[in-house]
Amino acid sequence: MLTMHYEEITEQQKAEFINGEIIMHSPVRIEHNITSGLLYKLLHTYVQMHHLGFAGIEKILITLTRNDYEPDICFWKREKSAAFKPGQMKFPAPDFIAEIISPGTEKTDRSIKWMDYAAHGVQEYWITDPANCMVEQYILENETYTLRVKMDSGTVKSQAVQGFDIPVRALFDEEENLAALKSLLPSSCFPA
């Protein structure tokens, strides 16, 4: 029974439950860690400043009908996140998910996760590629994802996180990220 496996997984492990199997993840490459950290920093700051809901990073277990995942980055609008409780460890489908692909995860991110996220109403799905400094933005339309943009420069404009418009380079470059973060914060946060 799948629920017995939950008890065997510790908080130190990253695992997903796909088609009745526990899928353990290996440590990530530095590029993966940098990209997820940079995106999360921007998303979390923006969401908190505007009281939009809850942004999560890795090891947040979302439970869907047949599979459970720990997306790299996710966001729930305030309507959903208001129901979250202290100590909660399982979460409903988010409104936004970003997966940072690697050679070991790309196939799953583009197949079964793609289908499950769409089937459970995840409004926006980003596939972020740190090796090529590229982001693909997919929007849910008629229960399937449609590619909105695939870019390595310019500004990506979220639909699920209203007003969250960030330079693509800010996902891969620390200096660009800091500049984008400064643009999100009120000028009163920085001394003259």
Note whether 127 and 138 are within 8 A (CB). Answer: yes
pLDDT of residue 30: 82
For residue 101, which of 76, 133, 66 has the smallest C-alpha distance? Answer: 133
For 128-148, the pLDDT digits (tens) are: 999 999 999 999 999 999 999
Nearest alpha carbon to residue 20 among 39, 33, 3: 3
Burial of 140 (0-12, 13-18, 19+ CB in 10 A): buried
Task: Please name the fold of domain 13-182.
Answer: tt1808, chain A (3.90.1570)
Mean pLDDT of 50-79: 93
State yes or no: pLDDT of 3 exceeds 50. no
The residue assigned the tokens 């492990």 is 13
Whether 36 contacts 100, CB under 8 Å: yes
Q: Is 165 helix (H, G, I), strand (E, B) or coil?
A: strand
Kindly list the domain boundaries of the chain, sorted by start residue.
13-182
Of residues 20 and 160, more confidence is placed in 160
What's the pLDDT score for residue 58? Answer: 83
Of the given ranges (32-36, 53-57, 90-94), which has the lowest mean pLDDT?
32-36
pLDDT of residue 185: 82
Rounded distance, CA 20 to CA 67, Å? 8
In the predicted structure, residue 149 carries a pLDDT above the cut 90: yes
